[in-house]
């Protein structure tokens, strides 16, 4: 893979197909951009008509192309792409950027142009990016294949690389990263990803020496499991901006890059599991890139300091909003800091209003001492800045690079992050950002968001470190097996027997076929009991009135038995005698098979919570204990699992075990399509599956 990718990113010579000398020709911009950016390899323009572009003669007969061309960039109408790929093949070109649009994003999937493209590429062993993309910008080689004219002069070289499923976004991240002084190494626009996709590029970038952070803009995640696996293996942070999350956007996304929507609740869970940081805008992507330059955050306890009371208040609000705490500082430290005060009219707290102290020594003292505290994991700091104010503070503050060195040093020594922002005229903020030795955020709220992103990245890793082992490796799978059953679903009884074989707690129950066995079974179970009509063909027992609860004696049992039997067309073959489980907290647990992520576990509160309010969470199977606990805590109604309203708190060990087991079942049984445990009732403090349904895949699925 790495060898192959070298031809894409560091080609020794490229051929550009579709070039013309007319003013509206787009392919010639590719040559312009490469020259601008300092690409030193040979560039060979190929076109229909003779002419000269940028002092290069357009080759009209592809046979005239020299050997040893690494990469073709193709921007010709889609019906001609196959023909030119054939030329590439015959000339030994094995790598292509196919910029041309008009494929599945415009007409139907498997349209003839697409089929020809794929067939031709396969025949010649050509790997390609696209179609419908702008290809590659590599500050390392000067390769710059977008077909819009780009000003590459302001591009900053650095160690962030970005994979983008949109040409416009690929262009913009080049500018946005550079404008924020975050240099980039490689940007790739991957279009319809008909051959190479984000996974291929992530794997390449994971090994790429010039890349330290991997950012992605995706409109669709096609193979979610592969993405998660790659991310889990990566030692470099991965950041994703996943758009196309709304119904409103899905239409245009389809015609943009043929992107199909994902279930965003599953995406949300999967990214957390894989330790991928999610951002919401291109600007947030740059914020995250800056944050990732700071030391790791090892907890959620911050000190918030500002040189203005108002900004301290806003920092405090932002910290709490993002789940941070600001612990009280030791009295002795407070007294020492207060001794620096000038007017002596501000009390020191955390968040701290430092507005009354005009001394850089005092500031340095406070920062160092606060970060040295064991119960403090990091800091957010907002400083007023202007040349006049700097003078008041001392000489060190007037030189911007010296000023930033202070924070670099303090943060490094403490090995804890400082989220730094300034309130000032924008030109000074921009100057401070441009120094670029220490990350400077645009305002206090952004600095807290940045630290929050660090936390998103390190929290999971830390939990795993603390637990001393990779929990997931403990989960052992049996070989994949199939439930032998010719129907499309198991009955409630069969479903529970199956779940019980995995040690999921289910109601005690006996299936009966006649009145004699009914009465016997009822005695064994013990009144009160529940009777249910039971058959895999009967999925909605409540609506069909096939459930009778709280049956207190034989007489009531017989009456209920008769009623249910009659509603089941007179058959007495399948009635379930079940213990009556009482409990106020009802949960739902399920397994679904997502087209992009495979088996996923679902969790929610029962009743209207899951059904109407959609307050559910997902994780991709298999789950480790950390996943299970996180998905429980993620639902809005989680509080009712605590000791509230006189109820016992739910036994979290059993509950997490159930979620992990459901995931395991999904991994081990390839013909299970869906599991629905609804309700899972908390009896005392222990969950019991009161109703359950397992749906099997159709043979062809």
Query: In the range 35-74, which residues lie near a copy of itself by CB under 8 A?
Result: none
CA 528, chain centre distance (Å):
48
Query: Is residue 393 exposed (0-12), middle (13-18) or buried (19+ Cβ within 10 Å)?
Result: buried
Comparison of 250 and 683: residue with beta carbon closer to a copy of itself: 250
Q: Which of 80, 462, 640, 654 touches a copy of itself (CB under 8 A)?
A: 640
Q: Which stretch binds a copy of itself (CB under 8 A): 353-361, 528-536, 555-563, 688-696?
A: 353-361
Residues 6+ apart with CB under 8 A from 558: 515, 518, 519
Q: Would you count residue 550 as binding a copy of itself (CB under 8 A)?
A: no
Comparison of 175 and 278: residue with beta carbon closer to a copy of itself: 175
Buried b or exposed e, range 16-49, using 16+ CB within 10 angstroms: bbbbbeeeebebbbbbbbbbbbebebebbbbbee
120 strand-pairing partners: none
Min dist CB 192 to a copy of itself, Å, is 11
Alpha-carbon dihedral of residues 324, 330, 336, 341, nearest 10 degrees?
50
What residues between 571 and 600 interact with a copy of itself by CB under 8 A?
A: none
Residues 6+ apart with CB under 8 A from 199: 223, 226, 227, 230
Q: Would you count residue 377 as binding a copy of itself (CB under 8 A)?
A: no
Q: Would you count residue 171 as binding a copy of itself (CB under 8 A)?
A: yes
Q: Would you count residue 346 as binding a copy of itself (CB under 8 A)?
A: yes
Six token digits for residue 557? 């049992």
Which 3-state string (H, E, C) describes 505-571? CECCEEEECCHHHHHHHHHHHCCCEEEEECCCCCCCCCCCCCEEEEECCHHHHHHHHHHHHHHCCCC
* Orientation of helix 360-372 relative to helix 331-338, angle to 10°: 170
What residues between 211 and 240 interact with a copy of itself by CB under 8 A?
A: 217, 219
Size of the site for a copy of itself (CB under 8 A): 96
Are 642 and 688 in contact by the 8 Å Cβ rule? The answer is no
Q: Which stretch binds a copy of itself (CB under 8 A): 9-17, 311-319, 502-510, 623-631?
A: 311-319
The DSSP symbol for 618 reads E
Min dist CB 264 to a copy of itself, Å, is 10
Q: Would you count residue 314 as binding a copy of itself (CB under 8 A)?
A: yes
Q: Which of 206, 613, 629, 654 touches a copy of itself (CB under 8 A)?
A: 613
The DSSP symbol for 474 reads G
Q: Which of 612, 699, 700, 701 touches a copy of itself (CB under 8 A)?
A: 612
What residues between 134 and 153 interact with a copy of itself by CB under 8 A?
A: 148-151
Q: Which of 57, 79, 283, 503 touches a copy of itself (CB under 8 A)?
A: 283
Q: Would you count residue 268 as binding a copy of itself (CB under 8 A)?
A: no
Min dist CB 309 to a copy of itself, Å, is 3
Q: Which stretch binds a copy of itself (CB under 8 A): 58-66, 88-96, 119-127, 417-425?
A: 417-425
Q: Would you count residue 437 as binding a copy of itself (CB under 8 A)?
A: no
The DSSP symbol for 219 reads S
What residues between 87 and 106 interact with a copy of itself by CB under 8 A?
A: 101-102, 106
Q: Which of 49, 90, 110, 280 touches a copy of itself (CB under 8 A)?
A: 280
Min dist CB 253 to a copy of itself, Å, is 5
Comparison of 47 and 351: residue with beta carbon closer to a copy of itself: 351
* Orientation of helix 198-207 relative to helix 224-233, angle to 10°: 10
Comparison of 78 and 548: residue with beta carbon closer to a copy of itself: 78
Q: Would you count residue 248 as binding a copy of itself (CB under 8 A)?
A: yes
- Rg of the chain (C-alpha set): 31
Q: Which stretch binds a copy of itself (CB under 8 A): 120-128, 252-260, 399-407, 566-574?
A: 252-260
Q: Would you count residue 300 as binding a copy of itself (CB under 8 A)?
A: no
Min dist CB 141 to a copy of itself, Å, is 22
Compute CA distances 361 → 304, 344, 353, 373, whole Å.
18, 17, 16, 19
Min dist CB 488 to a copy of itself, Å, is 26
State the Cα–Cα distance between residues 598 and 225, nearest whole angstrom: 7
Q: Would you count residue 317 as binding a copy of itself (CB under 8 A)?
A: yes
CA 26, chain centre distance (Å):
35
What residues between 473 and 532 interact with a copy of itself by CB under 8 A?
A: none
586-594 and 598-605 beta bridge pairing: antiparallel
Q: Which of 57, 157, 321, 399 touches a copy of itself (CB under 8 A)?
A: 321
DSSP class per residue in 363-414: HHHHHHHHHH-TT--EEEEEEE--HHHHHHH-GGGTSHHHHHHHHHHHHHHH
Min dist CB 259 to a copy of itself, Å, is 8
Q: Which of 57, 335, 562, 636 touches a copy of itself (CB under 8 A)?
A: 636
Residues 6+ apart with CB under 8 A from 31: 16, 19, 43, 45, 53, 54, 56
């Amino acid at each position: 893979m790495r060898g192959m990718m070298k031809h894409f990113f560091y080609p020794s010579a490229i051929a550009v197909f579709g070039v013309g000398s007319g003013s509206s020709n787009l392919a010639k911009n590719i040559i312009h951009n490469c020259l601008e950016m300092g690409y030193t390899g040979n560039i060979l323009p190929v076109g229909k008509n003779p002419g000269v572009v940028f002092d290069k003669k357009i080759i009209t007969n592809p046979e005239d192309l020299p050997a040893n061309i690494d990469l073709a960039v193709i921007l010709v109408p889609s019906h001609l792409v196959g023909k030119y790929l054939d030329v590439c093949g015959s000339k030994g070109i094995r790598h292509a950027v196919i910029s041309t649009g008009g494929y599945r994003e415009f007409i139907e999937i498997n349209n003839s142009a697409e089929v020809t493209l794929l067939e031709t590429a396969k025949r010649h062993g050509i790997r390609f990016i696209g179609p419908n993309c702008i290809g590659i910008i590599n500050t390392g080689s000067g390769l710059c294949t977008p077909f819009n004219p780009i000003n590459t002069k302001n591009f900053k070289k650095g160690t962030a690389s970005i994979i983008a499923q949109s040409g416009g976004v690929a262009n913009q991240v080049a500018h946005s990263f550079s404008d924020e002084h975050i240099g980039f190494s490689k940007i790739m626009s991957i279009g319809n990803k008909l051959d190479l996709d984000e996974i291929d590029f992530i794997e390449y970038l994971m090994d790429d020496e010039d890349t330290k952070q991997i950012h992605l803009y995706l409109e669709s995640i096609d193979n979610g499991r592969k993405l998660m696996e790659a991310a889990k293996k990566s030692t470099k942070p991965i950041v994703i901006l996943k758009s196309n999350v709304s119904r409103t956007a899905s239409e245009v996304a389809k015609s943009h890059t043929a992107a199909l929507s994902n279930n965003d609740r599953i995406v949300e869970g999967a990214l957390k599991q894989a330790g991928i940081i999610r951002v919401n805008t291109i600007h947030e992507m740059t914020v995250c890139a800056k944050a990732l330059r700071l030391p790791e955050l090892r907890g959620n306890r911050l000190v918030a300091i500002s040189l203005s009371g108002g900004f301290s208040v806003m920092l405090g609000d932002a910290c709490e909003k993002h789940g941070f705490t600001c612990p009280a500082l030791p009295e002795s430290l407070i007294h020492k800091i207060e001794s620096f005060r000038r007017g002596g009219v501000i009390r020191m707290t955390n968040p701290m209003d430092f507005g009354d102290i005009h001394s850089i020594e005092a500031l340095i003292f406070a920062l160092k001492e606060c970060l040295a505290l064991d119960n403090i994991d990091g800091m957010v700091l907002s400083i007023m800045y202007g040349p006049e104010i700097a003078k008041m503070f001392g000489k060190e503050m007037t030189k911007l690079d010296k000023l930033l060195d202070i924070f670099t040093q303090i943060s490094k020594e403490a090995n804890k992050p400082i989220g730094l922002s300034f309130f000032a005229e924008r030109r000074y903020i921009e100057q401070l950002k441009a120094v670029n030795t220490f990350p400077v955020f645009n305002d206090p709220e952004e600095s807290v968001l940045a630290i929050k992103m660090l936390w998103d990245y390190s929290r999971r890793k830390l939990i795993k470190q603390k637990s001393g082992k990779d929990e997931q490796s403990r989960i052992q799978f049996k070989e994949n097996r199939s439930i032998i059953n010719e129907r499309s679903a198991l009955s409630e009884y069969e479903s529970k027997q199956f779940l019980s074989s995995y040690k999921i707690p289910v109601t005690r129950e006996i299936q009966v076929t006649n009145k004699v066995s009914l009465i016997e079974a009822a005695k064994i179970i013990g009144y009160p009991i529940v009777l249910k009509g039971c058959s895999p063909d009967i999925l909605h027992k409540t609506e069909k009135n096939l459930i009778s609860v709280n049956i207190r004696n034989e007489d009531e049992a017989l009456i209920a038995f008769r009623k249910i039997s009659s509603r089941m067309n007179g058959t007495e073959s399948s009635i379930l005698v079940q213990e009556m489980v009482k409990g106020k907290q009802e949960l739902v647990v399920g397994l679904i098979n997502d087209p992009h992520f495979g088996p996923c576990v679902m969790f929610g509160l029962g009743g209207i919570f899951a059904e109407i309010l959609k307050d559910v969470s997902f994780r991709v199977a298999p789950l480790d204990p950390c996943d299970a606990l996180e998905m429980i805590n993620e639902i809005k109604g989680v509080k009712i699992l605590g000791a509230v309203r006189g109820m016992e708190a739910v036994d979290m060990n059993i509950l997490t075990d159930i979620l992990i087991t459901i995931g395991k079942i999904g991994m081990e049984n390839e013909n299970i399509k869906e599991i629905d445990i609804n309700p899972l009732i908390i009896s005392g403090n222990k969950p019991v599956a009161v109703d359950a349904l397992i749906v099997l895949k159709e043979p062809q699925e």
